[in-house]
Structure 1
Amino acid sequence: MRDTPGPAGGDRFETDVPARLDRLPWAGFHWRVVIALGITWVLDGLEVTLVGSLAGAIHQSPSLALTETQIGLTASAYLIGAVFGALGFGWLADRIGRRRLFFVTLFVYMLSSIATGFAWDFWSFAFFRLLTGAGIGGEYAAVNSAIQELIPARYRGTTDLCVNGTFWGGAAIGAVVALVVLDPAIIDPEIGWRGAFIVGGALSLIVLLLRRHLPESPRWLMLHGKPEEAGKIVGDIERDVAAAKGPLPPLTYGKVVLHRRGAASIAEVWRAMFDTHRERAILGLTLMSCQAFFYNAVFFTYALVLTKFYAIPAHQVGWFMLPFALGNLMGPLLLGRFFDTIGRRPMITGTYALAGILMAATGAAFAAGWLSAWEQTLAWTVIFFFASAAASAAYLTVGESFPLEMRAMAIALFYAIGTGVGGVIGPTLFGWLISSGERADITWGYYGAAALMLLAAFTEWKLGFAAEGKPLEEVSAPLSAAR
């Protein structure tokens, strides 16, 4: 089917690009999208887990010798970079396209991660971590947008959760790598932790090769007044899918009518978020902020708790990080499909609530000294099985909540605010609590994180909306839609 040109002047046009993308059966093209774009989360998980697992070695490093508070501050620097990277690159992704940003953000990440391996003091280490975070923040905005726009509606929730969940596949790899690079019998830990950052960054070259053949998002082209180019890309995708799957099914809905226009202005973005879709803005902010505090407060100080309160040697932390990472990975993989079948609202509410309740119970057990190191790890593994699915669903919710013209910017803005409020404060606060050496102090931090997750669950139950199986254009009408 072809897009219909508008009347004289070319301002108004019809397009069936969304319907054609949503009718496609799952095929090799979708796997290529998921692998080439979703691998970002694997790299992020690898990067973040290395810092968590290597925290003890960096603390003991003769060249850096960072304190617990400084380690918490470097974690916050990474997140601050992610905030500004998401905002800057997210703004660009809505204006110049998703595809161009894929390569820019990956280069920033790659070079900064390698540079981290050559850090010589606290300030250089924190600066390179900040730049690494900027690259990852930009990836979150551009990649999440593209995946949601390219994946058929009936698979969107499952795919988005599973892709975000692969962060923990990278975390598991990072835990195994840490076991090797921190073992004095294999390599000098001072060389090992530096080499881990250098090799991790260099792996990005593989991702660049995987992304070379991915097209620009047809939905982005369509919304920027290029329906013919969008239709051509969809036609190529259809031929590829039909060659593997046979004749394509019929369209399940009709064309959308749009006006040619430029990118959304800041005023339009603000109006859409905090006027037209105010309740969705409140929901997105709550989900993102609460999960960011919950996650980053625990994860960035995981190794410090094990070494300080359970006397686990720094080079053995990876053994405890591995089951935690696998639990986080399995949550979205096993629960993801239920967000498309049972529905967004009950599943998001349930996963946030369970994570909060279990964290409160575990905090009490930690304060009483009832748990061994392995029992504490098992408790965290169960908690984050649910929390991982909840956190991934926060990104899904924000991406679906607002018009397509501002999708990347919306993801970036809510990621930035959520991370700024919940993520930057969390690691610094918990690093300070851990430095006190008192279990009771840390327990209050765990209770606070649990309360925030319960607040998020209540907010989702009150303000959540049904998006499962619906086209993006139906969930939130484009700004360029004809009235």
Structure 2
Amino acid sequence: MSHAATSGTHIITTEVPARLDRLPWSRWHWMIVIGLGTVWILDGLEVTVVGNIASRLSESGSGLSITDSQVTGLGAALYVAGACSGALVFGWLTDRFGRKKLFLVTLAVYLAATAMTALSFSAWWFFLFRFLTGFGIGGEYAAINSAIDELIPGKYRGRVDLIINGSYWLGAMGGALLSVLALDTGIFPENIGWRLTFALGVVLGLVILLVRRHVPESPRWMFIHGRSDGANAIVDGVEREIEQEKGIELPEAGRSITIEQRTSVSFVEIGRTLFRSYPKRATLGFSLFIGQAFLYNAITFGFSSILVKFFGVSSGTTGYFFAVIAFGNFLGPLLLGRLFDTVGRKKMISGTYILSGLLLFVTAWVFDQGWLDATTMTVCWCGVLFFASAGASSAYLTVSEIFPMETRAMAIALFYALGTAAGGISGPLVFSGLTSSGVVGDAVLAFCIGAALMVAAGLVAVVFAVDAEGRSLEDIAGPLSERPPAQAGPPDSQAV
């Protein structure tokens, strides 16, 4: 196939999006998933490990002069603040300078900050690098989600996105079990075990970095930003690789798009696009992120306190219960993900949100009746989160596919920052006292708040969700720079 073009800022007609969307699943796509998607495992590992080893860090032999409440309070808040800041900063840079540069930079920031956390010698050092670790992770969300959606064919995009976002809970499960091991002073000294948990995050990150170096820049980003030669070269190479792997000749793309190449988009234009051109979609994004943030905080923020205070579970064994909960969270996107591409986005998004909220209402009621023990409460939580996790993962999928190409990373960053702030700032303020008071009615109230917001978000999805399954990103939301085909010549030709 020939796709001659000259880089520059021109009006061009290109078949790159259609060529990417008609590709069959291949080893190349697995490389994308492994290189980009596995970072969520690191995030889950980070958050869970810190929460579970807080008691060890506060002990006199840990090597740090820090309290338990400082780790779970100030330390968690700084991580959240870093994630929100990193998402917004790196989200803007990702739309401006490209996906590949930024998903390498954000992972490097995470690796360096995590390594420095392992070497902490004082509280201020620990807090500083918790902020910077969050800064890198927040940037990852914007850079990675935008790249994945632009590289994965439309017919697989829903399930791939859900499973990748759901893999956070594999990290959470590993972090819960790892913390049990790290807290065993019969294996590791008090001042070493917790450091090794952070060191493991660095090792995993380095492995991901080795794979990620081979992930290309998004051809969709390239052709809009004046690099159409490079975009065609990447797609040409992928097509040759897949034809050789599958032993087939790929059909012609058969569809083109005409755009005016540009180098950047202003914050004013981004804001106007999100809130003036797509107000219903912006409302949907806010609703989905707020709903899942509060439901998760209603359960996960106080799960340990509830098990200890109401069911007499030892604080040293709550990690096992959390590992079970995390596994239930991962199963949701894994088993339900395909349905988002077949049954459809609107039905599955609204269904998972509403059903998880209703199940949490039921859990609150049976808990209030005194009918649960630690095991059955964990089973109830698993049932709720099986659906909630698929719904929460679909929130990231939604905001990454329903806005124009030029604003994609920034849109992801904005909604991620909002949801993270709501969950990490408002959530603890609302739920900390309720779940730790030892009063059944308080914990029930916490559950009901989270459930109500989740159901409300599901109802918003019933009205505003977009039927994006199987569709090209450019069909769901045309690029801001899209022009009528008459302004340019044949596919991959250019006009000044």
Moved more, 154-163 or 202-211: 202-211
The DSSP-based 3-state class of the residue aligned with 2:259 is strand
Matched residue count: 482
Q: Contact 1:178 / 1:315 at 8 angstroms: preserved in 2?
A: no
Q: Could you report, residue by residue, the CA deviation over 1:351-381 in whole angstroms, capped at 9, with x for unpaired residues?
A: 0011111112222333444322222211111
Question: Structure 1 residue 263 and structure 2 residue 264: aligned?
Answer: yes
Identity across matched positions, percent: 47
Shift of 1:56: 4.2
**Range with bigger deviation, 49-58 or 313-322:** 49-58
SS across alignment from 1:230: helix
Q: CA deviation at 1:70?
A: 5.6
Please tell me the residue identity of whatever aligns with 2:67: L
Q: Find the counterpart in structure 1 of residue 40 from structure 2.
A: 41
Mean alpha-carbon deviation: is it higher for 350-359 or for 295-304? 295-304
CA separation in 1, counterparts of 2:323 and 2:406? 40
SS at structure 1 position matched to 2:38: helix
- Counterpart for residue 295 of structure 1: 296
Gaps spanning 5+ residues in structure 1: where?
Answer: none
Alignment of 1:76 with 2:85, yes or no, is no
C-alpha distance in structure 1 between counterparts of 2:382 and 2:192, whole Å: 30
Q: TM-score, normalised by structure 2?
A: 0.92
Matched residue, 2:467: 466
TM-score by length of 1: 0.94
Residues 243 and 250 in structure 2, CA contact (< 8 A), matched pair in contact too:
no
User: By how many angstroms is 1:16 displaced?
Assistant: 0.6
8 Å Cα contact 2:298-2:449 kept in structure 1: no
Is the 2:4–2:229 Cα contact (8 Å) retained in structure 1? no
SS in 1 for 2:192: helix
In the TM superposition, 1:205-244 aligns within 5 A as 205-244=206-245
Q: Which amino acid aligns with 2:27?
A: G
**Deviates further, 38-47 or 249-258:** 249-258
What letter is aligned with 1:219? R
CA–CA distance in 1 between the matches of 2:57 and 2:439?
A: 23
Map 1:407-418 onto structure 2 (within 5 A). 407-418=408-419
Superposition deviation, residue 74 in structure 1: 2.6
Deviates more, 1:274-283 or 1:10-19: 10-19
Q: Deviation of residue 30 (structure 1)? A: 0.2
Q: Does 1:433 align with 2:417?
A: no
1:153 is paired with a residue whose SS is coil
Mark the CA change 1:306 to 1:58 in structure 2 (over 3 Å): closer, same or farther.
Answer: farther
Shift of 1:124: 4.2
Using the TM superposition, name which of 66-75 and 410-419 deviates more.
66-75
1:185–1:162 distance in 2 versus 1, CA, 3 Å: same
Q: Distance in 1 between matches of 2:264 and 2:9?
A: 17
Residue of structure 2 equivalent to 1:364: 365
Q: Would the alpha carbon gap of residues 266 and 163 (structure 1) be closer, same or farther in structure 2, given more than 3 Å must change? A: same
- Report the alpha carbon displacement of residue 135 of structure 1 after superposing the two structures with TM: 0.7
Partner of residue 352, structure 1: 353
Distance 2:80 2:325 in 1: 21
Q: Secondary structure at the match of 1:352?
A: helix
- CA offsets, 1:97-140, max 9 Å, x none? 11111121112111222333344565544332222111111000
Paired position in structure 1 for 2:493: none
**Residue of structure 2 in register with 1:313 after alignment:** 314
Distance 2:98 2:180 in 1: 40
Letter in 2 for 1:357: L
Counterpart AA for 2:459 = F
Unaligned stretches of 5+ residues in structure 2: 485-496
Asked whether the 8 Å contact 2:302–2:436 carries over to 1, the reply is no
- Equivalent residue of 1:257, what SS? strand
Contact 2:96 2:264 (C-alpha < 8 Å) held by counterparts: yes
| Cα separation, partners in 2 of 1:248 and 1:332, compared to 1, 3 Å | farther
> What's the counterpart of residue 116 of structure 1?
117
Deviations 1:234-274 (CA, angstroms, capped at 9, x unpaired): 01111111111122432454110111212111111011101
Change (3 A) 1:474 1:4: farther
**Within 5 A, what are the aligned runs for 1:59-458?**
63-64=64-65, 66-68=67-69, 71-119=72-120, 123-251=124-252, 253-458=254-459
**Conservation of the 8 A alpha-carbon contact between 2:41 and 2:171:** yes
Which amino acid is 1:27 matched to?
A: S
| Runs of 4+ deviating beyond 6 Å | none
Q: Is this contact kept in 2: 1:59–1:71, CA < 8 A?
A: no
The alpha carbon displacement at 1:399 in A equals: 0.6
Cα shift at 1:168: 1.2
Quick check: 157-166 or 433-442, which moved more?
433-442
